[in-house]
């Protein structure tokens, strides 16, 4: 029995070591909201619930707001899975500069990978507002999004100004940040006059409370 227990423990240690050596770090432990807090607060509000390996936003709590990582990231590879309820809207926002007195929300500074029920939400009828789009900036090249209630695996890779989105194994957005082309994209968007938007090269990662029920799991990041 002792040998069996030892073998299991050794295997678990080996798996953890391999995960750590690969550079990947879990941003969600599956049990708590440790490592996250609501934008402008010191803690995660009650709307965000950690349940059975899933981070869920519950709009019934009436105590929400976007949650952000405690840590800032510059060059990174983010992976996670999401699913939405019918007619839901949410997003993954990055390079968030947390300064509530100057910037009222996460999306005041951070670009967003859109999360959406394309068929049920009104934004689904707007170009560059559909699931997987770089919100209001770049339309995804394809839409491999799964139906409402099913999990979608997404990746955001940002390295030295090169940005890529992947969804369910397919590359759907590629662009560059902070160059002349980026400035043109901003000038042609709703963010044209938003001082500070899309300018920060380091920032926090946020999960959006858009007033709808949404789920996240397997959230991990690798700094590049």
Q: Which residue has the tokens 């920032």?
A: 203
State mean pLDDT over 146-160: 98
Say what the pLDDT of residue 87 is: 98
Instruction: Report the share of the chain in percent with pLDDT over 70.
Output: 91
Task: At 220, list the tokens.
Answer: 């991990």
CA 95 – CA 37 distance, rounded (Å): 16
Q: Where are the domains of the chain?
A: 25-223
CATH of the domain spanning 25-223: 2.60.120.560
Say what the pLDDT of residue 109 is: 98
Say what the pLDDT of residue 20 is: 54
Kind and range of the H or E run holding 82:
strand 76-84
Cα–Cα distances (Å) from 122 to 13, 64, 116, 139, in that order, read 48, 22, 10, 16
Q: What is the pLDDT of residues 109-130, one digit of tens each?
A: 999 999 999 999 999 999 999 9
Q: Evaluate if residue 66 carries a pLDDT over 70.
A: yes
Q: What is the pTM of this model?
A: 0.91
Q: What is the pLDDT of residues 9-47, one digit of tens each?
A: 444 444 444 455 589 999 999 999 999 999 999 999 999
Inter-residue contact 57 to 90 (CB < 8 Å): yes
Inter-residue contact 129 to 140 (CB < 8 Å): no
Q: What is the pLDDT of residues 173-215, one digit of tens each?
A: 999 999 999 999 999 999 999 999 999 999 999 999 999 999 9
pLDDT band at 97 (very low <50, low <70, confident <90, very high): very high
């Amino acid at each position: 029995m002792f040998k069996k227990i030892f073998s299991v423990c050794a295997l678990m240690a080996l798996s953890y070591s391999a995960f750590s050596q690969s550079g990947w770090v879990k941003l969600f432990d599956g049990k708590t909201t440790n490592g996250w807090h609501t934008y402008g607060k010191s803690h995660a509000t009650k709307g965000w619930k950690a349940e059975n390996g899933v981070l869920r936003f519950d709009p019934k709590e009436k105590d929400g707001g976007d949650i952000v990582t405690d840590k800032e990231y510059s060059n990174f590879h983010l992976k996670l899975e999401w699913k939405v309820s019918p007619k839901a809207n949410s997003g993954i926002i990055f390079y968030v500069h947390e300064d509530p007195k100057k910037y009222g929300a996460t999306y005041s500074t951070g670009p967003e990978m859109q999360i959406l029920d394309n068929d049920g939400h009104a934004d689904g009828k707007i170009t560059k507002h559909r699931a997987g789009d770089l919100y209001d900036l770049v339309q995804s090249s394809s839409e491999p999004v799964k139906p409402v209630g099913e999990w979608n695996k997404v990746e955001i890779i940002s390295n030295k100004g090169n940005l890529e989105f992947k969804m369910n194994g397919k590359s759907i957005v590629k662009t560059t940040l902070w160059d002349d082309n980026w400035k043109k994209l901003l000038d042609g968007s709703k963010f044209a006059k938003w001082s500070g938007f899309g300018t920060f090269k380091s920032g926090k990662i946020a999960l959006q409370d858009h007033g709808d029920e949404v789920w996240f799991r397997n959230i991990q990041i690798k700094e590049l």
